[in-house]
Each structure stands twice: as C-alpha cells, then as structure tokens.
Structure 1
Amino acid sequence: MITLTNLTGSSFTLNALYIEKIESLPDTTITLINNKKYFVKENEEVVVKRTIEYYQQIGLTHLQRGIGETNES
C-alpha cells in the first residue's frame, strides 16, 4: 500500500497492485485496473518510486522488469 495526497489535501492509502497506469495530464492521474481514476498531488516519479518500494517490501520486485526482457543467456 502507498500513501498519497488527493487534490483537496487529504491523504489516502492505495493498493499499488491495482495500478494500471500513471500519467501527468497535468495533474498526476492514476488509473486502476478497474478503470477507476485517482488524481493526486504527488508527481509521477514519486508515485512510481513509492510503488517500486512497495513491491520490494512485499517481495514482488520481479514485477519491475521491462516488457520484452527475456531469460535467454
């Protein structure tokens, strides 16, 4: 879970496993896999950093691998 701040200044906790995409439109917009959107004060880089830290905490760092990477030697 990551803690973020909505545009009214209230903080909330979001389950980062459900994030589909993060955009700067110009407000940072987080779209979940169910298509629900959250608008937050944190910039895109901060949200990505917190998401990666959360993945590390729960042992899912392998989700950070880029698309197209292979296990070929």
Structure 2
Amino acid sequence: MILVTRLNGPALALNADLIERAEATPDTVLTLVDGTKFVVEESIDELIERMRMHRAAVLAYASEIERGTGQPPQSGPRLRVIPGSEERS
C-alpha cells in the first residue's frame, strides 16, 4: 500500500498494484483497474517513487524471510508471514 493525499485533504492508503494509470490533467488523476478514479495532490513522479519504494521494501522483506531472519526492513510496509500459508504440493 502507498499513502496518497486526496485533493480535498484526507489521506488514502492505496494498493499500488491496482493502479492502471496516472494522468496529469493538471491535477493527478489515478485510475484503478476497476475504473475507480481518485484525484490526488502528489505528482506522477512522486507516485512512481512511492510505488518503487513500496515494491523494493516488499522484495527486501521477502529476501529476509528466505534467509530465515524474518526481520522487516527498517522502513516501508510491515508484512507478516502466516504459518501454514506456504505453497502446498
């Protein structure tokens, strides 16, 4: 999830994987895969950087899990492993 600020003020946590496109019209309009639209204060460059950082944090945490430390990165989203949720053969 990334945090964005709606144009009218309140913050919104948004699943970055559901963003289909971002347009600068001149306000930034996010369109989700289901057609929902949000007008946000952040620029497209800011959104791209937040999505990049979010994905990097997820990959870093996955790497920690594989190494057995299971410690979340110092910044970014906090994830947890649910026991028994491993892929079953």
TM-score, reference length from structure 2: 0.63
Q: Which runs of 5+ in 1 are unaligned?
A: 60-73
Structural RMSD (CA): 0.8
For structure 2, the residue ranges without an aligned partner over 5 or more in a row are 60-89
1:22 equivalent in structure 2: 22
What residue in structure 1 maps to residue 87 of structure 2? none
Q: How many pairs does the alignment contain?
A: 59
In the TM superposition, 1:1-73 aligns within 5 A as: 1-59=1-59
Percent of aligned positions with the same letter in both sequences?
34
More strand by share: 1
Q: Which runs of 4+ in 1 moved over 6 A?
A: none
* TM-score (ref. length: structure 1): 0.76
Shift of 1:35: 1.1
Tell me the SS of whatever aligns to 2:48: helix
Corresponding residue SS for 2:20: strand
Relative CO higher for 1 or 2, CA cutoff 8 Å, sep ≥ 6? 1
